[in-house]
Structure 1
Amino acid sequence: MQRIPVTAPSKATGKTREQLEAVQRKMGRVPNLHATMANAPAVLTAYMGLHDALSHTSLDNRLRELLAVTVASANDCEYCLAAHTEIGKNLKVDETELFHAQEGESTDPKTRAALNFTRTLIEKRGQVGDAELSALKAAGYSNAAILEIVATTAMNIFTNYVNLVASTHVDFPRVMAGAKS
Protein backbone atom coordinates (compact mmCIF):
# COMPACT_ATOMS: atom_id res chain seq x y z
CA MET A 1 0.00 0.00 0.00
CA GLN A 2 1.28 3.43 -0.91
CA ARG A 3 2.23 5.27 2.29
CA ILE A 4 2.24 8.78 0.82
CA PRO A 5 -0.67 9.21 -1.59
CA VAL A 6 -0.50 10.50 -5.13
CA THR A 7 -1.90 13.92 -5.92
CA ALA A 8 -4.28 13.82 -8.85
CA PRO A 9 -3.30 16.49 -11.39
CA SER A 10 -6.90 17.77 -11.29
CA LYS A 11 -6.52 18.40 -7.53
CA ALA A 12 -3.17 20.21 -7.82
CA THR A 13 -3.03 23.99 -7.95
CA GLY A 14 -0.70 26.70 -9.21
CA LYS A 15 2.80 25.80 -10.29
CA THR A 16 2.37 22.18 -9.18
CA ARG A 17 -0.58 21.77 -11.53
CA GLU A 18 1.41 23.37 -14.35
CA GLN A 19 4.30 20.97 -13.72
CA LEU A 20 2.05 17.92 -13.68
CA GLU A 21 0.38 19.10 -16.88
CA ALA A 22 3.83 19.49 -18.48
CA VAL A 23 4.68 15.91 -17.47
CA GLN A 24 1.33 14.76 -18.92
CA ARG A 25 2.13 16.46 -22.24
CA LYS A 26 5.65 15.02 -22.39
CA MET A 27 4.93 11.47 -21.23
CA GLY A 28 1.26 11.05 -22.11
CA ARG A 29 0.47 10.47 -18.44
CA VAL A 30 1.61 11.51 -14.96
CA PRO A 31 3.68 8.73 -13.41
CA ASN A 32 3.10 8.04 -9.73
CA LEU A 33 6.57 9.38 -8.87
CA HIS A 34 5.57 12.87 -10.00
CA ALA A 35 2.09 12.61 -8.49
CA THR A 36 3.64 11.56 -5.17
CA MET A 37 6.20 14.37 -5.23
CA ALA A 38 3.32 16.80 -5.85
CA ASN A 39 2.49 16.49 -2.13
CA ALA A 40 5.52 18.73 -1.58
CA PRO A 41 5.66 21.33 -4.37
CA ALA A 42 9.27 22.29 -3.58
CA VAL A 43 10.32 18.64 -3.94
CA LEU A 44 8.60 18.32 -7.32
CA THR A 45 10.13 21.61 -8.47
CA ALA A 46 13.60 20.56 -7.32
CA TYR A 47 13.35 17.20 -9.06
CA MET A 48 12.02 18.62 -12.31
CA GLY A 49 14.68 21.33 -12.35
CA LEU A 50 17.50 18.87 -11.72
CA HIS A 51 16.10 16.39 -14.24
CA ASP A 52 15.88 19.11 -16.87
CA ALA A 53 19.39 20.41 -16.15
CA LEU A 54 20.91 16.92 -16.34
CA SER A 55 19.23 16.27 -19.68
CA HIS A 56 21.59 18.90 -21.11
CA THR A 57 24.90 17.27 -20.16
CA SER A 58 27.50 15.40 -22.17
CA LEU A 59 25.89 12.12 -21.04
CA ASP A 60 23.50 10.71 -23.63
CA ASN A 61 20.00 9.44 -22.82
CA ARG A 62 21.13 5.82 -23.09
CA LEU A 63 23.88 6.20 -20.49
CA ARG A 64 21.66 8.21 -18.14
CA GLU A 65 19.05 5.43 -18.19
CA LEU A 66 21.69 2.73 -17.65
CA LEU A 67 23.03 4.73 -14.69
CA ALA A 68 19.48 4.98 -13.33
CA VAL A 69 19.04 1.20 -13.62
CA THR A 70 22.34 0.67 -11.77
CA VAL A 71 21.27 3.03 -8.98
CA ALA A 72 17.79 1.51 -8.69
CA SER A 73 19.24 -1.97 -8.45
CA ALA A 74 21.82 -0.94 -5.85
CA ASN A 75 19.07 0.64 -3.72
CA ASP A 76 16.48 -2.11 -4.30
CA CYS A 77 14.02 0.42 -5.69
CA GLU A 78 11.43 -1.60 -7.59
CA TYR A 79 9.67 1.52 -8.90
CA CYS A 80 12.78 3.10 -10.41
CA LEU A 81 14.06 -0.20 -11.78
CA ALA A 82 10.76 -0.67 -13.61
CA ALA A 83 10.55 2.94 -14.79
CA HIS A 84 14.09 3.20 -16.11
CA THR A 85 14.04 -0.24 -17.69
CA GLU A 86 10.90 0.78 -19.60
CA ILE A 87 12.33 4.18 -20.55
CA GLY A 88 15.54 2.46 -21.67
CA LYS A 89 13.56 0.05 -23.84
CA ASN A 90 11.70 3.01 -25.36
CA LEU A 91 15.11 4.49 -26.21
CA LYS A 92 16.00 1.20 -27.93
CA VAL A 93 18.57 0.20 -25.29
CA ASP A 94 19.20 -3.52 -25.64
CA GLU A 95 17.38 -5.61 -23.04
CA THR A 96 20.58 -7.49 -22.21
CA GLU A 97 22.37 -4.18 -21.64
CA LEU A 98 19.61 -3.09 -19.24
CA PHE A 99 19.89 -6.42 -17.42
CA HIS A 100 23.68 -6.12 -17.03
CA ALA A 101 23.33 -2.52 -15.84
CA GLN A 102 21.59 -3.83 -12.72
CA GLU A 103 25.01 -5.07 -11.59
CA GLY A 104 26.90 -2.06 -12.93
CA GLU A 105 28.13 -4.03 -15.93
CA SER A 106 28.21 -3.44 -19.68
CA THR A 107 29.80 -5.00 -22.73
CA ASP A 108 31.00 -1.52 -23.72
CA PRO A 109 34.19 -0.62 -21.77
CA LYS A 110 33.38 3.10 -21.48
CA THR A 111 29.84 2.44 -20.29
CA ARG A 112 31.09 -0.25 -17.89
CA ALA A 113 33.52 2.27 -16.36
CA ALA A 114 30.67 4.72 -15.67
CA LEU A 115 28.36 2.04 -14.25
CA ASN A 116 31.10 0.53 -12.08
CA PHE A 117 31.96 4.00 -10.80
CA THR A 118 28.31 4.65 -9.95
CA ARG A 119 28.01 1.36 -8.10
CA THR A 120 31.20 2.13 -6.14
CA LEU A 121 30.03 5.70 -5.49
CA ILE A 122 26.89 4.32 -3.84
CA GLU A 123 28.67 1.55 -1.93
CA LYS A 124 31.31 3.96 -0.59
CA ARG A 125 28.82 6.80 -0.01
CA GLY A 126 30.84 9.15 -2.17
CA GLN A 127 34.20 8.24 -0.64
CA VAL A 128 35.75 7.07 -3.91
CA GLY A 129 39.50 6.98 -4.30
CA ASP A 130 42.00 8.08 -6.89
CA ALA A 131 41.87 4.67 -8.58
CA GLU A 132 38.14 5.03 -9.32
CA LEU A 133 38.60 8.50 -10.79
CA SER A 134 41.61 7.36 -12.80
CA ALA A 135 39.58 4.48 -14.25
CA LEU A 136 36.87 6.89 -15.40
CA LYS A 137 39.41 9.25 -16.93
CA ALA A 138 41.19 6.35 -18.64
CA ALA A 139 37.83 5.33 -20.14
CA GLY A 140 37.55 8.78 -21.70
CA TYR A 141 35.45 10.76 -19.24
CA SER A 142 36.31 14.42 -18.65
CA ASN A 143 36.14 16.11 -15.26
CA ALA A 144 32.81 17.63 -16.33
CA ALA A 145 31.42 14.22 -17.31
CA ILE A 146 32.54 12.75 -13.99
CA LEU A 147 30.59 15.43 -12.13
CA GLU A 148 27.61 14.79 -14.42
CA ILE A 149 27.76 11.09 -13.50
CA VAL A 150 27.86 12.04 -9.81
CA ALA A 151 24.89 14.40 -10.22
CA THR A 152 22.91 11.82 -12.21
CA THR A 153 23.62 9.23 -9.53
CA ALA A 154 22.52 11.63 -6.78
CA MET A 155 19.30 12.53 -8.60
CA ASN A 156 18.46 8.86 -8.96
CA ILE A 157 19.22 8.17 -5.30
CA PHE A 158 16.79 11.00 -4.51
CA THR A 159 13.99 9.42 -6.56
CA ASN A 160 14.79 5.97 -5.16
CA TYR A 161 14.45 7.28 -1.61
CA VAL A 162 11.19 9.11 -2.37
CA ASN A 163 9.72 5.94 -3.86
CA LEU A 164 11.01 3.70 -1.07
CA VAL A 165 9.67 5.97 1.68
CA ALA A 166 6.33 6.51 -0.07
CA SER A 167 6.00 2.88 -1.20
CA THR A 168 5.02 4.35 -4.54
CA HIS A 169 2.75 2.05 -6.53
CA VAL A 170 4.69 0.82 -9.58
CA ASP A 171 2.89 2.06 -12.70
CA PHE A 172 5.44 0.73 -15.21
CA PRO A 173 5.89 -2.89 -16.31
CA ARG A 174 7.50 -4.67 -13.37
CA VAL A 175 11.06 -5.93 -13.57
CA MET A 176 12.41 -8.57 -11.25
CA ALA A 177 15.81 -7.51 -9.95
CA GLY A 178 18.50 -9.67 -11.47
CA ALA A 179 16.15 -11.04 -14.11
CA LYS A 180 15.72 -10.21 -17.74
CA SER A 181 12.43 -8.43 -18.26
Structure 2
Amino acid sequence: MSRINIVTTETANTEQLALLQAIQSKLGMVPNFLKVLANSPTALRAFLGLHGIASEGRLSPQTRERIALTVAQQNSCEYCVSAHTALGRKTGLTLSEIECNRLASSEDGKAAVAVKFARPLVEIITHVGMNILTNMIGKASRVEIDFPKVELKMAA
Protein backbone atom coordinates (compact mmCIF):
# COMPACT_ATOMS: atom_id res chain seq x y z
CA MET A 1 0.00 0.00 0.00
CA SER A 2 1.29 3.43 -0.91
CA ARG A 3 2.45 5.69 1.93
CA ILE A 4 1.15 8.66 -0.02
CA ASN A 5 -2.32 8.60 -1.50
CA ILE A 6 -2.44 8.37 -5.25
CA VAL A 7 -4.54 10.85 -7.18
CA THR A 8 -7.21 9.12 -9.24
CA THR A 9 -9.59 10.52 -11.81
CA GLU A 10 -12.24 10.39 -9.08
CA THR A 11 -10.19 12.36 -6.51
CA ALA A 12 -8.37 14.73 -8.88
CA ASN A 13 -9.05 18.44 -9.06
CA THR A 14 -9.33 20.08 -12.49
CA GLU A 15 -5.58 20.66 -12.87
CA GLN A 16 -4.65 17.16 -11.74
CA LEU A 17 -7.31 15.60 -13.96
CA ALA A 18 -5.98 17.39 -17.06
CA LEU A 19 -2.48 16.07 -16.36
CA LEU A 20 -3.69 12.51 -15.70
CA GLN A 21 -5.77 12.52 -18.89
CA ALA A 22 -2.79 13.76 -20.92
CA ILE A 23 -0.63 10.95 -19.53
CA GLN A 24 -3.38 8.38 -20.18
CA SER A 25 -3.66 9.61 -23.75
CA LYS A 26 0.09 9.38 -24.35
CA LEU A 27 0.90 6.13 -22.51
CA GLY A 28 -2.41 4.28 -22.53
CA MET A 29 -2.19 4.14 -18.73
CA VAL A 30 -1.20 6.33 -15.80
CA PRO A 31 1.57 4.69 -13.75
CA ASN A 32 0.98 4.85 -10.00
CA PHE A 33 4.26 6.74 -9.58
CA LEU A 34 2.83 9.58 -11.65
CA LYS A 35 -0.41 9.40 -9.66
CA VAL A 36 1.66 10.01 -6.52
CA LEU A 37 3.44 12.95 -8.16
CA ALA A 38 0.03 14.34 -9.16
CA ASN A 39 -0.44 15.35 -5.52
CA SER A 40 1.66 18.32 -6.63
CA PRO A 41 0.76 19.28 -10.20
CA THR A 42 3.89 21.46 -10.25
CA ALA A 43 6.09 18.47 -9.37
CA LEU A 44 4.34 16.30 -11.95
CA ARG A 45 4.74 18.92 -14.69
CA ALA A 46 8.42 19.34 -13.77
CA PHE A 47 8.99 15.58 -13.91
CA LEU A 48 7.17 15.22 -17.23
CA GLY A 49 9.13 18.16 -18.65
CA LEU A 50 12.46 16.72 -17.54
CA HIS A 51 11.48 13.29 -18.85
CA GLY A 52 10.55 14.81 -22.21
CA ILE A 53 13.82 16.73 -22.47
CA ALA A 54 15.88 13.68 -21.48
CA SER A 55 14.15 11.54 -24.10
CA GLU A 56 15.34 13.95 -26.80
CA GLY A 57 18.99 13.25 -25.98
CA ARG A 58 21.43 11.04 -27.84
CA LEU A 59 20.94 7.93 -25.72
CA SER A 60 18.82 5.25 -27.33
CA PRO A 61 15.64 4.12 -25.56
CA GLN A 62 17.38 0.81 -24.81
CA THR A 63 20.37 2.55 -23.19
CA ARG A 64 18.08 4.80 -21.15
CA GLU A 65 16.25 1.73 -19.84
CA ARG A 66 19.52 -0.09 -19.15
CA ILE A 67 20.68 2.84 -17.01
CA ALA A 68 17.29 3.07 -15.28
CA LEU A 69 17.48 -0.63 -14.39
CA THR A 70 21.00 -0.28 -12.97
CA VAL A 71 20.04 2.74 -10.88
CA ALA A 72 16.74 1.24 -9.70
CA GLN A 73 18.46 -1.96 -8.57
CA GLN A 74 21.22 -0.02 -6.80
CA ASN A 75 18.63 2.12 -5.01
CA SER A 76 16.52 -0.95 -4.09
CA CYS A 77 13.41 0.51 -5.74
CA GLU A 78 11.19 -2.48 -6.48
CA TYR A 79 8.62 -0.28 -8.22
CA CYS A 80 11.29 1.19 -10.52
CA VAL A 81 12.88 -2.20 -11.29
CA SER A 82 9.44 -3.53 -12.19
CA ALA A 83 8.51 -0.52 -14.31
CA HIS A 84 11.81 -0.40 -16.17
CA THR A 85 11.79 -4.15 -16.76
CA ALA A 86 8.45 -3.73 -18.54
CA LEU A 87 9.62 -0.61 -20.38
CA GLY A 88 12.92 -2.26 -21.26
CA ARG A 89 11.09 -5.24 -22.76
CA LYS A 90 9.05 -2.80 -24.88
CA THR A 91 12.30 -1.36 -26.27
CA GLY A 92 13.47 -4.86 -27.22
CA LEU A 93 15.74 -5.73 -24.29
CA THR A 94 15.85 -9.43 -23.51
CA LEU A 95 15.29 -10.77 -20.00
CA SER A 96 18.93 -11.86 -19.98
CA GLU A 97 20.06 -8.33 -20.84
CA ILE A 98 17.77 -6.86 -18.19
CA GLU A 99 19.30 -9.15 -15.56
CA CYS A 100 22.77 -8.02 -16.66
CA ASN A 101 21.69 -4.37 -16.47
CA ARG A 102 20.42 -4.84 -12.92
CA LEU A 103 23.95 -6.01 -12.07
CA ALA A 104 25.50 -2.92 -13.74
CA SER A 105 26.61 -4.88 -16.78
CA SER A 106 25.46 -5.54 -20.31
CA GLU A 107 25.78 -8.11 -23.04
CA ASP A 108 26.49 -5.16 -25.35
CA GLY A 109 30.02 -3.74 -24.92
CA LYS A 110 29.08 -0.12 -25.57
CA ALA A 111 26.08 -0.28 -23.22
CA ALA A 112 28.21 -1.94 -20.53
CA VAL A 113 30.25 1.26 -20.24
CA ALA A 114 27.11 3.34 -19.66
CA VAL A 115 25.60 1.08 -17.01
CA LYS A 116 28.92 0.60 -15.23
CA PHE A 117 29.35 4.39 -15.04
CA ALA A 118 25.80 4.82 -13.70
CA ARG A 119 26.63 3.16 -10.36
CA PRO A 120 29.36 5.56 -9.16
CA LEU A 121 27.44 8.46 -10.67
CA VAL A 122 24.43 7.61 -8.50
CA GLU A 123 26.66 7.65 -5.43
CA ILE A 124 28.10 11.04 -6.39
CA ILE A 125 24.61 12.45 -6.99
CA THR A 126 23.45 11.02 -3.66
CA HIS A 127 26.23 12.84 -1.82
CA VAL A 128 25.62 16.08 -3.71
CA GLY A 129 21.88 15.84 -3.02
CA MET A 130 22.42 15.04 0.65
CA ASN A 131 24.74 18.02 1.05
CA ILE A 132 22.39 20.38 -0.77
CA LEU A 133 19.61 19.23 1.57
CA THR A 134 21.71 19.80 4.70
CA ASN A 135 22.90 23.17 3.35
CA MET A 136 19.34 24.34 2.74
CA ILE A 137 18.11 23.12 6.13
CA GLY A 138 21.09 24.73 7.85
CA LYS A 139 20.50 28.05 6.11
CA ALA A 140 16.72 28.02 6.50
CA SER A 141 16.77 27.03 10.18
CA ARG A 142 19.79 29.14 11.13
CA VAL A 143 20.71 26.31 13.47
CA GLU A 144 23.34 27.24 16.04
CA ILE A 145 26.81 26.16 14.90
CA ASP A 146 28.15 23.57 17.33
CA PHE A 147 31.47 23.03 15.55
CA PRO A 148 34.43 25.42 15.40
CA LYS A 149 32.98 28.27 13.32
CA VAL A 150 34.45 28.97 9.90
CA GLU A 151 33.48 32.23 8.18
CA LEU A 152 32.16 32.14 4.63
CA LYS A 153 34.30 33.90 2.03
CA MET A 154 33.21 35.36 -1.26
CA ALA A 155 33.84 33.19 -4.29
CA ALA A 156 36.83 34.25 -6.40
Residue 13 of structure 2 corresponds to which residue in structure 1?
13
Matched letter for residue 115 of structure 1: V
Matched letter for residue 52 of structure 1: G
Residue 56 of structure 2 corresponds to which residue in structure 1?
56
Residue deviations 1:85-117 (CA, integer Å, cap 9, x gap): 001111211111111000110121210111010
Cα offset, 1:126, TM superposition: 6.9
Matched letter for residue 82 of structure 2: A
1:113 and 2:116 correspond: no
Residue 76 of structure 1 corresponds to which residue in structure 2?
76
Q: Structure 2: where are the runs of 5+ without partners? A: 130-156
- Count of residues in Structure 1 that have an aligned counterpart in Structure 2: 128
Matched letter for residue 119 of structure 1: R
Matched letter for residue 53 of structure 1: I
8 A contact 1:9–1:35 mirrored in 2: no
Residue 154 of structure 2 corresponds to which residue in structure 1?
none
Residue 45 of structure 1 corresponds to which residue in structure 2?
45
8 A contact 1:6–1:36 mirrored in 2: yes
8 A contact 1:67–1:118 mirrored in 2: yes
Task: Tell me: higher relative CO, structure 1 or 2? Use CA pairs within 8 A at least 6 residues apart.
Answer: 1
8 A contact 1:6–1:39 mirrored in 2: yes
Q: Percent identity?
A: 36
Q: Structure 1: where are the runs of 5+ without partners? A: 128-153, 155-181
Task: Report the aligned-residue RMSD.
Answer: 1.8
Residue 34 of structure 1 corresponds to which residue in structure 2?
34
Where in structure 2 are the equivalents of 1:88-167 lying within 5 Å? 88-125=88-125
SS of alignment partner, residue 76 of structure 1:
coil
Change (3 A) 1:47 1:54: same
Cα offset, 1:122, TM superposition: 1.6
SS of alignment partner, residue 11 of structure 1:
coil
Residue 140 of structure 2 corresponds to which residue in structure 1?
none
> Aligned equivalents of 2:120 and 2:59: distance in 1?
19
Cα offset, 1:81, TM superposition: 0.3
Matched letter for residue 79 of structure 1: Y
Cα offset, 1:10, TM superposition: 3.6
> Aligned equivalents of 2:126 and 2:107: distance in 1?
25
Tell me the TM-score normalized by structure 2. 0.76
